[in-house]
Structure 1
Amino acid sequence: MTSSLNRPARLNRALLALAGLTLLAAGGYALAAYGDKLPWVDSGDRLTPGTAAPPSWVLALIAIAAVVIGLGCLRWVAAQLRRVPKAVPWELSGPEAAGRTTLSSAVAARAVAADIEGYPEVGSVSAVLSGPGRAPELHVIVTASAGADLTDLRRRILGEAVPRLRSALAVGVIPVTMEFRLADNGIALQ
């Protein structure tokens, strides 16, 4: 459930692991070369064979690699900005219905967020409904006051707000992911 809320997490972990392994391999290679453990490398040799400028094709290759890496980094940053699934229109009427009823998942999410914000110990709520209309998933981030009983607040959300949402959407089950944040000290609990 949380993977749909944080889509780029798996890619981030994979890229960070790849970068870490590459840096570890390069560092190990440099240490092995420095310690004369590699027979094809002499630790007394200079790093570059001479003081002459490299050929122009090497500089062009470095510039192209820098541009590709820079664009990849920009793409990575852009993926971080789209952490939450987009709102989608749901068709609530069945195929045998005479008319057509649609509802944006963002409207339903705002309604459940407003419902939870009405609780006295809650400061703010961010809610997202993802998935298809007949099998939605609710993702809620609740900022509560520092003295709030989070267990009671969780129980109240699952016992009051979520059943009202299920009733409004006419679905039997809505999987819920909740994250609690305390307003005063910034601690986040999931």
Structure 2
Amino acid sequence: MTASLNRPARLNRALLALAGLVLLAGGGYALAAFGGRLPWVDGRDPVTPGTAAPPTWVLVLIVIAAAVIGLCCLRWVAAQLRRVPKAVDWELAGPEVAGSTTLSSAVAARAVAADIEGYPEVGSVSAVLSGPGRAPELYVIVTAAAGADLTALRRRILGEAVPRLREALAVGVMPVTMEFRLSDKGIALR
């Protein structure tokens, strides 16, 4: 089970805040420079100091910076691909019950993941249950053997594991989002 399948939210906020601060600082500096408020900048001077080509080390530095920024952007895009809501805590109490019980949806998700991992063609499973206790949503990532029949596996999950989970949670309908990955590690079909 992955510790946090909603990592992009924190990363997005941090990167957007950083980009906003850099743009605010750059814009403030440009306004101050062109407004004549900086003593070391003369507003009548040209923006570039001539028409000569910059030194080679400047061009190399620009290429390296562009490559680093490009790789960071690719990492950011890759983080967006795994968007799954966080697990939540459910309060299980009926109107006639004096006390209450709290159940983490991660515990129920681990149970359904263990159930699916017991299938012969499955190597590993990550599952997350999210939403309110009376209307949970199940997100499942299944790594299956390369030769597995994914249609049959999907039917089996929806026909066996999901109904058992719905019965355990006493809910009627449960939306399920499944992602299948094929393993290249050679999971043996039992």
Same fold (TM over 0.5): yes
Report the counterpart of residue 28 of structure 2 in structure 1: none
Superposed CA offset, 1:67-111 (max 9, x none): xxx9xx8xx96xx49944332210122233222122110000000
User: What amino acid does structure 2 have at the position aligned with 1:175?
Assistant: P
- How far, CA to CA, are the matches of 1:146 and 1:117 in structure 2? 15
The DSSP-based 3-state class of the residue aligned with 1:161 is helix
TM-score normalised by structure 2 residue count: 0.56
User: What amino acid does structure 2 have at the position aligned with 1:168?
Assistant: A
Report the counterpart of residue 177 of structure 2 in structure 1: 177
Superposed CA offset, 1:119-140 (max 9, x none): 0000000000111111110000
Displaced runs of 4 or more, over 3 A: 5-9, 80-84
Report the counterpart of residue 149 of structure 1 in structure 2: 149
The DSSP-based 3-state class of the residue aligned with 1:99 is coil
Q: Which segments of 5 or more consecutive residues in structure 1 lack a partner in the other structure?
A: 16-45, 52-69, 186-190
Superposed CA offset, 1:2-40 (max 9, x none): xxx76859x97xx9xxxxxxxxxxxxxxxxxxxxxxxxx
Report the counterpart of residue 140 of structure 2 in structure 1: 140
Report the counterpart of residue 131 of structure 1 in structure 2: 131
User: What amino acid does structure 1 have at the position aligned with 2:166?
Assistant: R
Superposed CA offset, 1:42-79 (max 9, x none): xxxx972559xxxxxxxxxxxxxxxxxx9xx8xx96xx
Does structure 1 residue 120 correspond to structure 2 residue 137?
Answer: no
- How far, CA to CA, are the matches of 2:169 and 2:113 in structure 1? 15
Q: 1:59-70 maps to which residues of 2 (within 5 A)?
A: none
The DSSP-based 3-state class of the residue aligned with 2:90 is strand
TM-score normalised by structure 1 residue count: 0.56
8 Å CA contact 2:6–2:86 kept in 1: the answer is no
The DSSP-based 3-state class of the residue aligned with 2:180 is strand
Q: 1:67-86 maps to which residues of 2 (within 5 A)?
A: 80=79, 83-86=83-86
Superposed CA offset, 1:114-168 (max 9, x none): 0000000000000001111111100000000011100000000000000000000
Q: 1:85-96 maps to which residues of 2 (within 5 A)?
A: 85-96=85-96
Report the counterpart of residue 106 of structure 1 in structure 2: 106
Q: Aligned-pair RMSD on alpha carbons?
A: 3.7
The DSSP-based 3-state class of the residue aligned with 2:124 is strand
The DSSP-based 3-state class of the residue aligned with 1:123 is strand
